[in-house]
Amino acid sequence: MTVLLAVAIGALYACGIYLMLRRSLVKLLLGLVLISHAANLLIFTAGGLRRGAAPIVRAGEEALTRPHADPLPQALVLTAIVISFGVLAFALALFRRVHQSIGADDVDRMRSTDT
């Protein structure tokens, strides 16, 4: 299962980087989304894939019962989802403003507005 996830993560990173190197702002945004999904899967895979009980200490106990799921990767991925949503919303607003100013989403046309 880990090997399959490693291949999926590599494919998501490769597709995301490929899309980010294109000349269109829409493809850049889609590449950013793919890279954020790949990062979330990477955190889950690095945390370990195991099935277990919820990491909750029950009443009357002093420690977690084994086997339990590690809550740290879940918290990190939740934080990464929120951050990537904020970056995506900012990039979408920025690209909308650029499209209103220039009238196209081509990177070459943006260079002509520098002067």
- Locate the DSSP E strands across 18-108: none
Is the pTM above the cut of 0.75?
yes
Q: For the domain with range 2-52+65-111, which CATH number is right: 2.40.70.10, 3.60.15.10, 1.10.287.3510, 2.30.30.40? A: 1.10.287.3510
- 57, with CB counted inside 10 A (0-12, 13-18, 19+), is exposed
Residue 113 confidence (pLDDT) above 70: no
**Separation between Cα atoms, residue 103 and residue 93, nearest integer Å:** 15
105 or 94: which leads in pLDDT: 94
What local confidence, expressed as pLDDT, does residue 9 receive?
96
Instruction: List pLDDT tens digits, range 16-63.
Output: 999 999 888 889 999 999 999 999 999 988 887 777 777 788 888 888
